[in-house]
């Protein structure tokens, strides 16, 4: 099997345009955030699984297989909790999360800052590297807490929104190349959920 460059990737649900607008507007309210969500290169998303890969074409094939077996479904955005939007951890979401972790052969390797987008000008912080390295052991299966990260700050603040609870539809899995703060920077592929 041919090995390629190691990439830090996230397998996600991207939000639809209207729901992206809600997340982006909330992101802009976070004082002193290390990043702000947008529609170009810091995409609002719900992580299904993340890690390092060294065979992009194989990862794409595996995500495509999972998408063909899954049906579109709805989820509830429950509300904000500091700098996150909490998402309902439904049976279908958890099952899809587990299936992706079982199918994708994420690498068990030491930290790879060079695997991130723009690593030379915006190197990933220690917390970014810790999160991706420990995703499977610390943030998966029974520890999976689905959310949308709106920003990162040390300042005290309170987000106010009348947009929740809110139902979102998920019908497409996206593979993203990650940047600092595990932001979705570049879309590497998209697949419709087309199962029956």
> For 98-149, what is each residue's pLDDT tens digit?
999 999 999 999 999 999 999 999 999 999 999 999 999 999 999 999 999 9
Lowest mean pLDDT among 24-38, 104-118, 149-163: 149-163
**Full residue range of the structural domain in which residue 116 is found:** 7-192
Q: How far is CA 167 from CA 16, 75, 87, 130, 158, in A?
A: 11, 6, 10, 31, 22
pLDDT grade for 82, boundaries at 50, 70 and 90 = confident
pLDDT at res. 190: 98
**29 found inside a domain:** yes
**183 found inside a domain:** yes
Contact predicate 64/192, CB 8 Å: no
Q: What proportion of the chain, given as a percentage, has pLDDT over 70?
A: 97
- Picking from 97, 93, 66, the residue whose alpha carbon sits closest to that of residue 77 is 93
**60 found inside a domain:** yes
**66 found inside a domain:** yes
Question: How many domains, the chain?
Answer: 1
**Structure letter (DSSP) for residue 121:** T
**168 found inside a domain:** yes
CATH number of the CATH domain containing 111? 3.90.1140.10
**174 found inside a domain:** yes
**146 found inside a domain:** yes
pLDDT at res. 72: 96
What's the first-to-final CA gap in the chain, in angstroms? 32
**2 found inside a domain:** no
């Amino acid at each position: 099997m041919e090995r390629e460059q190691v990439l830090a990737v996230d397998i996600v649900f991207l939000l639809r345009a209207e729901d992206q607008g809600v997340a982006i507007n909330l992101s802009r309210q976070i004082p002193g955030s290390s990043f702000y969500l947008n529609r170009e290169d810091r995409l609002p998303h719900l992580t299904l699984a993340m890690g390092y890969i060294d065979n992009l074409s194989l990862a794409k094939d595996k995500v495509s297989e999972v998408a063909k077996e899954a049906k579109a479904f709805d989820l509830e955005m429950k509300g904000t909790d500091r700098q996150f939007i909490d998402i309902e951890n439904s049976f279908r979401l958890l099952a899809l999360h587990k299936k992706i972790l079982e199918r994708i052969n994420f690498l068990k390797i030491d930290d790879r800052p060079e695997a991130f987008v723009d690593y030379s000008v915006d190197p990933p912080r220690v917390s970014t590297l810790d999160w991706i390295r420990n995703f499977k052991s610390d943030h998966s299966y029974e520890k999976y807490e689905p959310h949308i990260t709106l920003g990162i700050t040390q300042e005290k603040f309170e987000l106010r929104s009348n947009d929740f609870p809110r139902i979102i539809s998920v019908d497409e899995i996206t593979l993203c190349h990650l940047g600092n703060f595990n932001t979705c920077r570049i879309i590497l592929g998209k697949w419709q959920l087309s199962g029956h």
